[in-house]
Structure 1
C-alpha cells in the first residue's frame, strides 16, 4: 500500500514537468531569440509601436543593435501596424511619436526599402537602432535582419558621428 502512495506521489510531481513542453512555435521563437543574441543583437520586450500612452502591455519584441551614436535626437519610431500616427514620406509607414531630424533620412530610407513585410516598426533610441518583427510569421532568416541592422549601424556610425 505504501509503495502505491509513493508511485502516485512521484507521478503527481513528474507529470506536470512532462506535460509542459514547448510548442513548435515557441521553440522557433526561442531559437530566433537565441540566434539574435549570438549575433550581437539585444532582444527586448516592448510596447506596441502604435500604443497609446495608457497602454502599457509589452506585446512586441524589438531586435536592437548597439551603435556608438548616443545623442538624444536618436529617438523615433516609424511603424506600419496601424493607421495611428502621422503619415511619413515612406509609403505605408507612419510616425509613432517624435520625428527625427533630416540627418536620419538616409538610415530610414535604407531600413524602409530593405526590410520585408515581417518588419512592423523601425525604432531608434540613444545607442540603439532596432526592428520590431512579427516573430510568428518571419519569412526571411534572422541573418537577413542582422545584416540590415549591421548596415544601418555602419551608416549611423559613419555619417552621424
Structure 2
C-alpha cells in the first residue's frame, strides 16, 4: 500500500512536467518557423486572407518576404498591390482555376511569374499577396519542413520579377 501511495504522489508531481513537452507537430512548426526566419521570411499569425473586418480568428500564419532594401517599386501599375485567394467564394476569377483575385488584380505582365509561383507553392497555401511590405503567403502550416524551401524559392523568384535586385538589373543592362 505504501508503494502505491509513493507512485501516486510521484505521478502527480511528474505529470505537469510532461505537459510542457512539445508534440511532434509543435516541433515541426517550430523548425519551420526557424528555417523561415533564417531565410529572411517574417512569420506572423493572421486572420484568413478573405476575412472581412472583424471576421475570423488568428488561425492562419502569414509568411512574408520583404522587398530588398534599395530596390525601387515598379513604375508599372498594379505590380505590388494585389491578392490571390485559393478556394473562396469572394473575389473575381483569375486565370488559375480555384484562385480568385481579392481586391485589385495584378498587372497581366506578371501573370506568368505568378502562375509559376502558384505551381511551386505547397498545395495547402491559401493566399498569395503583394503589398507595400513585400510578398506574403497565408497558410496553416500543414506540410513538411521542405515546404519552407519551396516557399522561400517561389517568393524570392517572384520578388526578383517584381523588383529586380541591383545586381540583376545591371546584368540585364549590359
When the two structures are superposed, what TM-score results if normalisation uses the length of structure 1? 0.76
Q: Distance in 2 between matches of 1:62 and 1:70?
A: 22
1:49 to 1:55, Cα distance in 2 relative to 1, 3 A: same
- Where does residue 19 of structure 1 map in the other structure? 19
Quote how far apart the aligned CAs of 1:135 are: 0.9
Q: How many residues align?
A: 150
Query: How is 1:6-155 mapped onto 2 (pairs within 5 angstroms)?
Result: 16-67=16-67, 68-70=71-73, 73=78, 74-138=80-144, 140-155=146-161
Q: Distance in 1 between matches of 2:21 and 2:72?
A: 42
- Where does residue 5 of structure 1 map in the other structure? none
Larger deviation, residues 74-83 vs 135-144: 135-144
Q: 5+ unaligned residues in a row in structure 2: which ranges?
A: 1-8, 170-174
**Considering only aligned residues, what root-mean-square deviation do their CA atoms show, in Å?**
2.8
Q: Distance in 2 between matches of 1:154 and 1:49?
A: 24
When the two structures are superposed, what TM-score results if normalisation uses the length of structure 2? 0.71
Q: 5+ unaligned residues in a row in structure 1: which ranges?
A: 1-7
Query: Given that residues 36 and 42 in structure 1 are in contact (C-alpha distance below 8 angstroms), is that contact kept between their aligned partners in structure 2?
Result: yes
